[in-house]
Structure 1
Amino acid sequence: MSTFTTTTYLLCVAVGCLSVLIMFGNLLVIISIIYFKQLHTPTNYLILSLAVADLLVGLLVLPFSAILAVSSCWYYQDLLCKVRTTFDVFLTASSISNLCSISVDRYYAVCQPLRYRDKINVRVVVIMILVSWTVSAFFAVTVAILGVNQGSNRGCVLFQNNSLAIMGLVFVFYIPTITMLTIYLKILTVAQRQARSIQNVTCQSKKSERKMERKATKTLAIVMGIFLTCWTPFFLCLTFNPLSDYTIPVALMAAFKWFGWSNSMLNPFIYAFFYSWFRSAFRMIISGKIFQGNCVNSKLR
């Protein structure tokens, strides 16, 4: 009993700390983009949508998961399992969809810069965001209705329906991942070609603009890479678990799942590390300067 109590206590503390870090970091991103006019760009609106998904992971998914982990005999555990899984699938699919949208944005910014402002504007970005969240919500509800069972031996099990499992893995993870990797490989090829030709550009402002686009693309590619690093082990286990007659240990699946959720904490640190204007915005918010005067039009450096 004491061991269970200690384990429960440590798990609750760990989940609480992770939830606070996720919510704090992503709130900084959300407030920065909404408040400062300099950050009102189509690319940043996509980052805002991604930050909202990450924030909701810390606010909704982690607490439900902690309750499921520590309460093995709760009367409403089956209902809680479906609620947790609905939010989990919804927010994971939303994150992947937003990352796909960001890759499309970067493709036009780097590969077709002359058409970028026509192809990627605020209206188009809003449509992309709405489509991402709507499709993700529809799929999450479908999974909750058809694909989640409360197994007596395996706990809260996702994708018991094999046909739904295949559809979920293909459409939620594998197709978006292959699409993003293909787009970023194309971007990398074009960026390398631009890097060789940039020396011939005499206009300093044009040269600076190209460097900024390349840096933004590199940063967002790192965001995508870290996302895939965190989530690929879990999705691979989810893929091979039915094929191995569910022989993969539950503890290993759970560890990979928590590793995936921890990704929601990392993106704000990436933005702060690579983007000086996000660092400036974070400092102004944390220090309370935005409450001392009108800083909406402040120049972020």
Structure 2
Amino acid sequence: MDYQMDLCYEAMNGSCWKYVRPHAIHVPMLIAIMLIISMTFIGNLLVIISIGHFRQLHTPTNQLILSLALCDFLIGLFVMPLSAVRSMQGCWYFGEFLCKLHTCIDITLSTSSIFHLVSVSAERFCAVCGPLRYRSCFGLSTVLLMISISWLIPGIFAYVMTFLEINIHGGKDFYDAHVRCVGGCHVFFSHGPAVFTSVFSFYIPGFIIVVIYSRIYMVARNQERSIRLQLNQLRRVYPSRDVQLQTRKATVTIAIVVGAFLVCWTPFFLCNILNPFIGYATPPMLIDVLMWFGYANSTLNPFIYAFMHSWCRKAVRIIVTGEIFKNNSSRKDLYT
């Protein structure tokens, strides 16, 4: 890649390098980042307004979706804009404390978003695999507990990692000699913290998500076979087209949910866990690109978990057309 390197602070010793890219690279990169930020902000805001405004959507299940949307909305509001400045220029102009605070919020919200996806997958598992016990298992108290865990544990974890500097434990000398510079805000992990962070924030939650949705897929297939057998016993040679379409839709939905999560986050966490063991040879710009792939999961979540449902699309139409400001709009029936 052809680009120049200037200093972030020309008059200071030990300044970080600043990226000066050709316009052919800089402009498309800026457009892509602004598009991701805008879609993340608007998409999740629409989900928050929809679930918050319409009384019909005030269910324990939708509280999980609302909390997920709030988490992703905050990523678009607080994390992405400052990360965009760092990604575009390679410099951080907001001081060391705000660097730590931004890193802490970034780790908190990104991990919280992944934890929310685990909670949503657990809710879907109970709905599909144990429908008779669903209401007793997933009441408001259970959902609030899952939401609390999805926020508190990532928050504590991120604070310990950043403000107590556990992330550089065992690698401080290398960090001071080769990474730290004036005008930089590097998310650095030494060997042990890199492994622990990746396993805690991605690999364990990712494994749980894959296992749960694999189980849901198997149950859906078994249900299809059972229905097909019952129809054959009623001397109907071919299964109902509705059953086939529902099964196909469930399969596609599961593939989208799991695929989007893995495609967005696997490259970053694979790089994160390997980078210390290859002497931090991964170019910073590549790490930035992989980080934005991870952020894009927050952009896609409202489309995957909300906009795919007809009730959400109807709610969005009401919001966009201004009908939300009419009297009793919160009582509209979104399921007809």
TM-score, normalising length from structure 1?
0.86
Equivalent of 1:234, from 259, 262, 268?
Answer: 268
The letter for the 1-side match of 2:48 is I
Offset at residue 157 of structure 1 (A): 3.0
SS at match of 2:186: strand
Offset at residue 34 of structure 1 (A): 1.4
1:243 aligns with 2:277: yes
Whose Rg is larger?
A: 2
> What CA distance in whole angstroms lies between the structure 2 residues aligned with 1:134 and 1:176?
16
8 Å Cα contact 2:217/2:251 also seen in 1: no
Equivalent of 1:112, from 130, 136, 146?
Answer: 130
1:33/1:73 CA distance change after superposition, 3 Å: closer
Name stretches of at least 5 consecutive residues in structure 2 with no aligned partner: 1-5, 7-18, 169-174, 235-241
> What CA distance in whole angstroms lies between the structure 1 residues aligned with 2:313 and 2:92?
44
1:68 aligns with 2:90: no
1:195 aligns with 2:213: no
Greater shift in the superposed pair: 83-92 or 139-148:
139-148
Offset at residue 187 of structure 1 (A): 1.3
> What CA distance in whole angstroms lies between the structure 2 residues aligned with 1:113 and 1:215?
19
Equivalent of 1:50, from 65, 68, 72?
Answer: 68
Equivalent of 1:133, from 144, 151, 156?
Answer: 151
1:178 aligns with 2:207: yes
Equivalent of 1:167, from 150, 173, 196?
Answer: 196
Deviations 1:20-43 (A, max 9, x none): 221111111111111122222332
Query: Aligned Cα RMSD in Å?
Result: 3.1
Name stretches of at least 5 consecutive residues in structure 1 with no aligned partner: 203-207
> What CA distance in whole angstroms lies between the structure 2 residues aligned with 1:42 and 1:173?
26
Give the match for residue 310 of structure 2: 276
Deviations 1:115-172 (A, max 9, x none): 1110111111011001110001001111212126682479533343322222111111
Offset at residue 70 of structure 1 (A): 5.0
The letter for the 2-side match of 1:94 is S
8 Å Cα contact 2:121/2:212 also seen in 1: yes
1:294 aligns with 2:294: no
SS at match of 1:274: coil
> What CA distance in whole angstroms lies between the structure 2 residues aligned with 1:90 and 1:16?
22
1:141/1:179 CA distance change after superposition, 3 Å: same
The letter for the 2-side match of 1:59 is L
Deviations 1:173-227 (A, max 9, x none): 111111111111111111111112234389xxxxx99x98996796466334312
Deviations 1:68-97 (A, max 9, x none): 345666564433321221111101110111
8 Å Cα contact 1:107/1:187 also seen in 2: yes
The letter for the 2-side match of 1:278 is C
Equivalent of 1:258, from 271, 292, 298?
Answer: 292
> What CA distance in whole angstroms lies between the structure 2 residues aligned with 1:125 and 1:170?
25
Equivalent residues, number? 295
> What CA distance in whole angstroms lies between the structure 2 residues aligned with 1:183 and 1:169?
20
8 Å Cα contact 2:45/2:73 also seen in 1: yes
Greater shift in the superposed pair: 13-22 or 86-95:
13-22
TM-score, normalising length from structure 2?
0.77
> What CA distance in whole angstroms lies between the structure 2 residues aligned with 1:51 and 1:215?
23
Give the match for residue 9 of structure 2: none
> What CA distance in whole angstroms lies between the structure 2 residues aligned with 1:273 and 1:181?
22
Offset at residue 273 of structure 1 (A): 5.3
